[in-house]
Structures are given as structure tokens and as C-alpha cells.
Amino acid sequence: MESRLWIRSPLAILAEGAEGGIVVEGSRIVELVPAGGQPAAPVDERFEAGCHVVVPGLVNAHHHMFQNLTRSHPAAINKSLWPWIRSLYPVWARHMTPEAFRLAVRVALTELILSGCTTTSDHHYLYAAGLEDAMDVEAEEAGRLGMRVTLTRGSLDIKDQQGVISPPNVVQDTDVILADSQRVIERYHRRGDGAMTQVALAPCAPFDVSLELMRQTAALAERHDCRLHTHLVETRAEADFCRNRFACTPVDYLEQCGWLNSRVWLAHGIHFEDDEIAKLARHGVGICHCPTSNMVLAAGQCRTCELEAAGVAIGLGVDGSASNDSSNLMEGVRHALMLNRLRYGSEAVTHLDALRWATVGSARLLGRSDIGVIAPGRQADLAFYRLNELRFSGAGDPLAALVLCGATQANRVMVAGRWRVRDGAPLGVDVERLMAEHGRAARAFLQTV
């Protein structure tokens, strides 16, 4: 028999009818307890949550973990997307080693879980020599920390020519990409409720991968029932590129590739026209909004309200650490609220909308219905925050305070019914040592290319 844990009487909880807490049995939530109520059956253990605001574990739907080795890099600060990436691509291509990559992944995952994130994807497309097992490293590191992960096997197959910016040593042949994609799917893709590892396939973007790779990747995903992911129209220049190179809109290009279907979620999706939004909605394509990155690079503002009104699912992503300089998804929730209010007004976007994007919205992008919501039968993935810092003093609505007052770190985190963060510390991680090792690795990336 699995033990039953009563998470009792939280200060606030993002679930109706659970004011008295929730009961967790094994990896699942089995009961919501109303205010003043008792569990329907005996429990083996209680956790007093009276000091905690409880929300579903956050879900990060877009990232590039390796980039945290070049946070605030002198060659790239204060630049827009294209000058930024042209500055950093040669640095990444020259200095990325297997050891540095593993540390980058460990730092990103640790930072994410400390922010309250329980599930993440990582769009990894940089396959320099020695990084052939990048997906294996990510699976190992997520397993060590106890996080759920969608291993998003990225790819580049067009070398630096005709304006394409990928250095030759990180570009792979199409057949190599497809063979490794098949390998990763067979080894790591788990279907069904409670999966800890899943796989998505993710050619980087229309300007640095071939039409053939896009089409064959879509066919592979169809055969193995996995998701598809890519960047699209992060900048106006990308929309113009599609029209000039392919003589069609970016969404029409997706259709030519066989990518206009409900397996697909897109990163950024800023510069879509009205007819493109309607077409995305008809075919079930989702959008990962990356507000922090979009502000840092001044890429533009995702049309979240128009997309949702049309029926497009919206999730949140921290994006790469070098364009965000942080892997903190709770911070991203606050940025999503502020940026979207700037566009749509204070009444149009609430703190509950931003939290919804970061939980059930992102879960939907990853094709998961077992996480993102506190409800019976769902996985017990939970984030617990305390409002015991000066910034929260006097806050009247605890859930709103998480976003408006700027919560940044969870006090406790549970994944699949198991504690993974206690008292603000990730279990099994020496954070000071990790920072020292990662800092030493990052110094190599400051060398002149």
C-alpha cells in the first residue's frame, strides 16, 4: 500500500475546493479537502502548509540550457537578436565541451526547480564534437534531480552560407540527425501518465534547417507519436525571410513541411498576422511565450490575447539563459503579466492568467494532461512558496502576491509525490560547489574567439 500524505490547510492554493489541503497517495493527488474538512480516509502523514502558497509545479516549455555559460557575455550584451546570436555562435562552437555542457545542464535544472519548476523541455541544437550524447546527459541530470523532462532533440543542417549563421562544426548531416533522433526516441520516450522523460524533435528554425529535414522530422514524429518544436517569427526579419525565401507566410511554410498539426508547439510566435493566427488555431498548434527573452532582445510582444481568443494554447518558457540571463520560471510569470498588461491593459491579463500559462498552458504544449493542475488523478507535482520576505509584507491576496510582489524561489517542491526541494535547498545538490565549477567552466567562454 502506498502511503497517504495530507498537505494540510495551505495559506492559499491554486485549486477550488482545496482550502483544507490535498491528499497525495504515491505519485498522485487523490483528494481535495474543503475548508474545515477532513480526508475521506485515514492518512499516514501530515505536512502543515499554513505558511505556504501552493501552486501546480511550473512547466517550462522552451529553453537552451547550454547558454548559461555565456550569461551577460561582454560580446553580446545590449544587442538585438541577430547581432547577439552572431556574437555568441562562434563562442559556443569553439568552447563547448562535454564537461562544460553537463555543468550548464545541472545549473539550469537546479535553477528551474528552485523557482518551482517541476517539468522542463530543452531545445538543444548545438552538436559540436563531443556533444553527440547531449540528450543522454540531460536525461541523466534530470533523473538525478528528480525532474520531469522533455528531451527536445534540436538540429541544424545548413552551414554558414547565404546569410545562415550556424558555424560548420555544429551542423550535422540530415541522416545523422534522423538516426540520433530515432535512437533518442527509442531510449527515452515514455508515453502515458506520470512519464518522467519524453522526447520531442526540434529542427532549430526555418533559416538554418532544410525543408527536407523538416519534412522527414515530421514523419518520424508521426511514426513514434512524439511532439514537434521549432522557433518561428521571433523577429519581423524572420517573417520577411520566409516570404522572400519560400514565397509564402511562415504558417504556410509550416504547412508545406507537414508541421501544421496538433503535435507542434512554436517558440516565440511574435509576428503572426491575423489570418496566420486563425490557421494555427484551426490546426491545434501551440505557442510558447518567452517574455523575458523578448524584452532583453527587444524582439517584440507575442499576441497572446489574440492567440488565445482564436483557440491557440499559450505556455511559458524562460528561453536560453544568455537571452534571459536567468532560468527562473516564476520570475518569467511576473514578466509575462507585466509585459502583457503593457499591451492589453490591466483588466485584460491577470496574475491567474500568467500562472495558468506557466502550468496547464505549458503542459498542454508538451502534450501532457497529467500535470499542470491540482486535481484528483493528476500527478502530485507541486510548488510551495513562503511569503516571509520583506517584499511580501502586508500582502492581502497570497496568490496575487506571488506574482505582483515578485516571488523568485520556492521553499519546497514536490515531483511525483516526492520532495525534491526542502527549505529552499535542492536535495542532493551542493549549490556552492556547483556554482564554483560552473563559474570556472564559464570563464573559458570569455576568451577571444
Q: Mean pLDDT over residues 291-299, rounded?
A: 96
pLDDT of residue 159: 73
| pLDDT mean across residues, the chain | 96
Using pLDDT thresholds of 50, 70 and 90, give the confidence band for residue 165.
confident
pLDDT digits (tens, 9 = 90+) for 38-52: 999 999 999 999 999
Name the pairing type of β-strands 117-124 and 52-56: unpaired
Q: What is the pLDDT of residue 381?
A: 99
In a shared domain, residues 409 and 348: no
**102 in the same domain as 203:** yes
Domain match, 392 and 300 both: no
- Range in 78-87, 276-285, 332-341 the model is least confident about: 78-87
Section 262-289 average pLDDT: 98
213: helix, strand or coil: helix
Q: Give the 3-state DSSP-derived string for 156-180, with helices as H, strands as E and coil as C.
A: CCCCCCCCCCCCHHHCCCHHHHHHH
Are 35 and 65 in the same domain? no
The reply to whether 129 and 107 lie within a common domain is: yes
**How would residue 161 be classed by pLDDT, with cut points 50, 70 and 90?**
low
Residues 6+ apart with CB under 8 A from 285: 254, 260, 261, 262, 264, 265, 266, 312
Query: Does a structural domain hold residue 111?
Result: yes
Instruction: Provide, rounded to the nearest whole percent, the portion of the chain with pLDDT above 90.
Output: 93
Contacts of 116 (CB under 8 A, 6+ apart): 55, 57, 58, 329, 330, 383, 385, 409, 410, 413
DSSP tag of 128: -
Q: How confident is the model at residue 448 (pLDDT cuts 50, 70, 90)?
A: low
Same domain, 408 and 322: no
Which range of residues forms the domain containing residue 46? Answer: 4-55+377-425
In-domain check, residue 246: yes
Q: What pLDDT is stored for residue 160 in this prediction?
A: 58
C-alpha cell recorded at residue 47: 505536512
Query: Does residue 440 lie in a domain region?
Result: no
pLDDT band at 94 (very low <50, low <70, confident <90, very high): very high
pLDDT tens digits, residue range 209-259? 999 999 999 999 999 999 999 999 999 998 998 999 899 999 999 999 999
Q: H helices of 153-285, where?
A: 174-188, 211-224, 236-246, 250-257, 274-283
Same domain, 204 and 352: yes
Answer yes or no: is 123 within a domain: yes
pLDDT of res. 166 = 82
> What pLDDT sits at residue 17?
97
* pLDDT score, position 426: 98
Q: How far apart are CA 298 and CA 270, in angstroms?
A: 11
Residues 227 and 280 in one domain: yes
Residue 441 located in a structural domain: no
CATH number of the domain where residue 242 is located: 3.20.20.140
pLDDT the model gives residue 15: 98
pLDDT of residue 152: 98
94: helix, strand or coil: helix
Does 334 have pLDDT greater than 60? yes
Q: How many CB atoms lie within 10 A of CB 412?
A: 22
Single-letter amino acid code for the residue at 186: E
**Residues 135, 127: contact at Cβ < 8 Å?**
no
Sign of the CA dihedral running 367, 403, 342, 111: negative
Using the 3D structure, point to which of 365, 388, 404 is the last residue of a domain.
365
Total domains in the fold of the chain: 2
Query: At residue 107, what is the residue type?
Result: V
**How far, rounded to the nearest angstrom, does the alpha carbon of residue 399 sit from its chain's CA centroid?**
22
Residue 163, pLDDT > 70, answer no
In a domain, 81, yes or no: yes
